[in-house]
């Protein structure tokens, strides 16, 4: 399956720990992600690398005047050994994977977040998946900035 990446960097007017905690909370996603309507936490588990939160997100994706309702199976990874990183992975049939990693750096005015999206999708759908994900995550970055403004 094809894979594409997208990177964006933006400033946030809060300290790195506050941004990290916000990004690790699945309940923050409906507040900042323009496509996610609801989140339901399924369970938390401990791994060698830290805590993993499994959750389901329901997203509404506009397509040709209709709305696709997708059920995403998601995991958020909290690795205390790497406090500057926040990672979440979302999977939706038929084989779409959105892997999002934030790197957070302290700045004099708060912090800077760099997001790396790695998108995997079946042949024939990558263009739509890429355009939709980039637009949504660009709006999400603006919503994160507004939340902490």
**How far is the C-alpha of 31 from the C-alpha of 68, rounded, in Å?**
20
pLDDT digit string, tens, across residues 34-53: 999 999 999 999 998 899 99
Tell me how long the chain is.
149
- Domain ranges, residue 44: 3-148
Instruction: Return the SS3 of 1.
Output: coil
Tokens describing residue 7: 């990177």
Total number of domains in the chain: 1
CATH code of residue 141: 3.30.530.20
Task: Express each pLDDT in 103-149 by its tens digit.
Answer: 999 999 999 999 999 999 999 999 999 999 999 999 999 999 999 99
Q: How many angstroms from the chain centroid is the CA of residue 1?
A: 21
């Amino acid at each position: 399956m094809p894979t594409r990446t997208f990177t964006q960097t933006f400033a946030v007017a809060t300290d790195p720990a506050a941004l990290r905690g916000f990004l690790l909370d699945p309940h923050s996603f409906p507040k900042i992600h323009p496509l996610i309507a609801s989140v339901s936490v399924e369970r938390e588990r401990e791994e060698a690398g830290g805590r993993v939160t499994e959750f389901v997100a329901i997203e509404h994706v506009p397509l040709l005047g209709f709305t696709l309702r997708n059920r995403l199976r998601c995991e958020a990874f909290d690795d205390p050994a790497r406090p500057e990183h926040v990672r979440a992975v979302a999977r939706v049939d038929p084989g779409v994977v959105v892997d999002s990693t934030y790197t957070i750096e302290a700045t004099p005015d708060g912090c800077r977040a760099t997001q790396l999206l790695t998108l995997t999708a079946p042949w024939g759908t990558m263009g739509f998946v890429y355009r939709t994900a980039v637009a949504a995550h660009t709006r999400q970055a603006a919503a994160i900035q507004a939340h902490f403004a």
